[in-house]
Amino acid sequence: MLYTMKDLAAIMPELIVAVFAFAILLIDLWLPKKSKGLNGVLALLGVVIAFGVTASMYSKNISAFNGMVVMDKASNFVGIIMLLTAFASIILSFDFIKREELEAGEYYEVLLFSIVAMQALASTYNLITMFVAVETLSIGMYILTGFLKNKNESVEGAMKYYILGSFASSFLVLGIGLIYGLFGSADLNIVKAGLAHADSLHKWASILAFLFIFVGFGFKIAAFPFHSWTPDVYAAAPTPMSAFMSIAPKAAAFLALLRFLIVGMGPIEVEWTKILWVVAVFTMTFGNTVALFQKDLKRLLGYSSIAHAGYMLVGITAANYLGYGSVMFYLFGYLFMNLGAFAIAEFISTKEDRGTEIANLKGMGYRYPLMGAAMLLFMFCLAGVPPTVGFVGKYYLFSAAVKSHLYYLAVIGVVNSAISAYFYLNVIVTMYMKGEPEDAKPVFNSVPLKVVVMLGALGVMYIGIFPSTFLDIAIHSIGF
């Protein structure tokens, strides 16, 4: 069995990121203490090169390594989302690492390896590759959550994430075992062929297997019964990593879930749409309701990310290509709004008490007019107010639901958006209308952070006003 250049081409972006991860691992040994910042530059370089390669290979459609790895528009689209997120989080990390005096080498190396795992997760039709990728990326995320090892919060967050994450991935193995037992393969195309003319016993067993596998993916995307880690982990992790975790693994897991549902579970679409209907409703409603009572900005963003996962599940429940494409588009827009909001959370935290309480935002709109305006934009965008990308994304998600005659689901989604406006607007009210600015001055007031916030604001506005190009790319990215 020979591997050719075609096989290597299909994993080119992964290879580049992996090479840079190994390079950091080695070079870090020889770097003197004061020039550890070079690791960050290397990581950034790797991400930029991988981004260039992914973008240049965008419309390729390669199946490699005997069908274990594929490269198609969807994997490249999600790859672009992940690499953009990684780019911004590495930029945010520069000052964070200096401020917290962390080990830069390990930090970037673990980050890059989890990016490789996410790229692999996004580009496979094989369940066992998906499992290995999910686990590899989770291991990286556990380490990064516990990276502030002198803080009780961070240790606790890593511990909770670890236990719940391993619990969920055991269910993933159980589901894969059942699928393999039923159809003799973990390849989704073979599963589909087997399921297409299966008897009712095989059908019911596949639904059971689907439920087990959904536990694994639902954990990664923070769907309702498996969401409880989200706010704790986002609050505990280093803020640049919270930003990264809220977008990149979710994007990869959503694409893997789409592949699993459309290709593998295609013949039992009627059954899984019913299950996802319930999950989507509970995810949206739970995330938005609990977010009403949050006092901490990072926890608020954690619950809001649960709610947004619910909106995206609406697009999957619709089970039409408009819905799948809207999920991709929403992920792309979510990248800009969430990165910006987390960057602002970093902005308000001071070195002494690292407070990201919403109360610390008091008077921010006057002291830092530009940052305040950007935060206003991000909150409007998360709430789904036009002319931002949040509105366009939600509009297409809910119209996909209407197109599939899921009127109740669309109505529940819209009602949820209205509920969510309350707590997003509360942040804005705190910024502009809660009295005089306090004395506490953020020490973390760096140029890279401002760049990230401005790019986020620009993205949110630009895609919100001229969505058609991006929407077209996103909707045509799902071609399976």
- Could you say which of 68, 91, 178, 343 contacts other proteins (CB under 8 A)? 178
Rule CB under 8 A: say whether 11 interacts with other proteins: no
Q: Could you give the CA distance from residue 179 to residue 205 in angstroms, rounded to a whole number? A: 8
Rule CB under 8 A: say whether 392 interacts with other proteins: no
Of 31 and 174, the one with the shorter C-beta distance to other proteins is 174
Closest approach, Cβ 383 to other proteins, in A, equals 24
Stretch that binds other proteins, among 93-101, 175-183, 237-245, 418-426 (CB under 8 A): 175-183
- Is the bond preceding 467 in cis, omega lying within 30 degrees of 0? no
Rule CB under 8 A: say whether 66 interacts with other proteins: no
- Could you say which of 37, 52, 184, 479 contacts other proteins (CB under 8 A)? 184
Among candidates 147, 475, 172, 462, which has minimal Cα distance to 326?
A: 475
Of 59 and 166, the one with the shorter C-beta distance to other proteins is 166
Q: Helices H, strands E: what count in the chain?
A: 20, 2
Rule CB under 8 A: say whether 109 interacts with other proteins: no
3-state secondary structure (DSSP) of residue 129: helix
Please identify which residue in the block is written with the tokens 């991709």. 328
Closest approach, Cβ 426 to other proteins, in A, equals 18
∠ CA 199-201-205, rounded to 5°: 120
Among candidates 109, 113, 88, 141, which has minimal Cα distance to 38?
A: 109
Of 37 and 181, the one with the shorter C-beta distance to other proteins is 181
- Could you say which of 87, 135, 261, 329 contacts other proteins (CB under 8 A)? 135
Among candidates 86, 106, 96, which has minimal Cα distance to 345?
A: 96
Q: DSSP code of 126?
A: B
Closest approach, Cβ 136 to other proteins, in A, equals 7
Q: Could you give the CA distance from residue 190 to residue 65 in angstroms, rounded to a whole number? A: 16
Closest approach, Cβ 167 to other proteins, in A, equals 6
Helix (H) / strand (E) element for 136: namely helix 127-145
Rule CB under 8 A: say whether 350 interacts with other proteins: no
Which residues, in sequence order, are bridge partners of residue 62? Answer: 71
Draw the binding track, 208-247, toward other proteins (x: CB under 8 A; -: no contact): ------------------------x--xx-----------
| Tokens representing residue 206 in the block | 């596949």
Of 215 and 400, the one with the shorter C-beta distance to other proteins is 215
Stretch that binds other proteins, among 133-141, 263-271, 274-282, 326-334 (CB under 8 A): 133-141
3-state secondary structure (DSSP) of residue 161: helix
